[in-house]
Amino acid sequence: MNYLSNKNGFLGVDNKFSFKEKVLVIPFGLEKTVSYGGGTRNGPKEIIKASHQVELYDEELNCEPYKEIGIKTLKPFKIDKNIKKALKKISKINEKILEKNLFPLTLGGEHSITPGCIIPFTKKYKNICLLHFDAHADLRESYNGEKFSHASAIKRCLDYKNVSLISFGIRNISKSEIPFLKKNRSRISIFWAKDKPKWNLNKFKKLIKNKNVYLTFDVDGFDSSIMPATGTPEPGGLFWDETLNIIKIASKNSNIVGADINELAPIKGFNSYNFLVAKLAYKILSYKFLAK
């Protein structure tokens, strides 16, 4: 595996800083099935660029988490135009990372990356819980004739029988997805955006307790007022502090084993959205390794 230098990688740490890495960041700007706004192929590059402006000290955790974690970033590489081959590629990369007992954080790209990302986890763990932040349920069997569409990402993950699902922020679902949802209530829990004032996070804590968890974060899970830089923005979504609280609960009560962040479509001149995602990535890693 080829890595970027510390200075050019995620967070832009000084090249003189030496560490034993626990995390590998994978830039994977797959963009094949977007159905409204485009630009997700540029997401990873802009997240890494913005991360160089993220303050390394975390006032909540009272430390510089990167020193405790150790983060390396893979050099960008060619992504196959065939979506099945592209997903096989990210699956192989994550498999190698897991063999090294490291934590993979994939920066997309569109949400269709997730079924490829989780394949090695479905093999390594008897059961894996998908913690899913999104505006959309992504439970369609296919979309525009494509079985591996971003609109089918979570459905493809649930093709693996040992995968269960907890979703937060869903506020857009098609009629065709409802029968599958009803049939699979035993392994799908949705915290609907419309019910946010009534969310019972103690219930969430019990649902996730002691589970092996893969976290997948579609940035359109955020309210469109703070995250318009995505292909399918939706009003009525998550805000910053409540999102971090959910991730912190998961970090304290479960074993987060891998993650991806996807669907950032950068808008030229509006760097705050790229910065938000970069800080989210740093927070996910910080909570994972230090929140307990």
Q: In the prediction, which pLDDT does 33 show?
A: 55
Q: How confident is the model at residue 34 (pLDDT cuts 50, 70, 90)?
A: low
Determine how many CB atoms are found less than 10 A away from the CB of residue 54: 18
What integer is the mean pLDDT of 126-144? 92
Please say if the pLDDT value at position 143 is more than 80: no
pLDDT for 14 beyond 70: yes
- In whole angstroms, give the CA distance from residue 66 to residue 69: 5
The full set of domains in the chain, from first to last, is 23-290 (3.40.800.10)
Q: What is the DSSP track for the chain? A: --B--TTTSTT---TT-----SEEEEEE---S---S---GGGHHHHHHHHHTTS-S-BTTTTB-HHHHH-EEEBPP----SSHHHHHHHHHHHHHHHHHTT-EEEEEESSGGGHHHHHHHHHHH-S-EEEEEE-SB----S-BTTBTT-GGGHHHHHTTSTTEEEEEEEE-B--GGGHHHHHHTTTTEEEEEGGGGGG--HHHHHHHHTT-EEEEEEEGGGB-TTT---BSS--SS-B-HHHHHHHHHHHHHHSEEEEEEEE-B---TT-HHHHHHHHHHHHHHHHHHHH--
In terms of C-beta density within 10 A (0-12 exposed, 13-18 middle, 19 or more buried), how is residue 147 classed?
A: middle
- pLDDT for position 147: 81
User: Which burial class, exposed, middle or buried, applies to 187 when counting CB atoms under 10 A from its CB (0-12, 13-18, 19+)?
Assistant: middle
pLDDT band at 166 (very low <50, low <70, confident <90, very high): very high
In degrees, rounded to 5, the angle at the alpha carbon of residue 31 between the alpha carbons of residues 151 and 35 is: 45
The 10s digit of each residue's pLDDT in 190-242 is: 999 999 999 999 999 999 999 999 999 999 999 999 999 999 999 999 999 99
Predicted confidence at residue 40, as pLDDT, reads: 87
What's the pLDDT band for 16 if we cut at 50, 70, 90? confident
Question: What pLDDT does 142 receive?
Answer: 75
CB distance 222 to 273 below 8 Å = no
pLDDT at 239: 98
The verdict on pTM exceeding 0.85 is: yes
Q: What is the mean pLDDT of residues 152-179?
A: 96
Q: What band does 173 get if pLDDT is binned at 50, 70 and 90?
A: very high
pLDDT of residue 267: 95
Residue range 258-264: mean pLDDT, rounded: 97
For residue 35, is pLDDT > 60? no
CA dihedral sign of residues 124, 253, 287, 158: positive
Per-residue confidence (pLDDT) for residue 151, from 0 to 100:
80
Question: At residue 38, does pLDDT exceed 80?
Answer: no
Q: What is the pLDDT of residue 146?
A: 73
Q: What is the DSSP annotation of 88-144?
A: HHHHHHHHHHHHTT-EEEEEESSGGGHHHHHHHHHHH-S-EEEEEE-SB----S-BT
Tell me: pLDDT of 32 over 80.
Answer: no
The two most distant CA atoms of the chain are separated, in Å, by 55
Whether residue 36 is predicted with pLDDT greater than 70 in this model: the reply is no
* 214 neighbors 160 (Cβ within 8 angstroms): no
Predicted pLDDT of residue 72: 96
Q: Poorest-confidence range of 22-31, 125-134, 141-150, 173-182? A: 141-150
**Mean pLDDT taken over the chain:** 94
Contacts of 245 (CB under 8 A, 6+ apart): 201
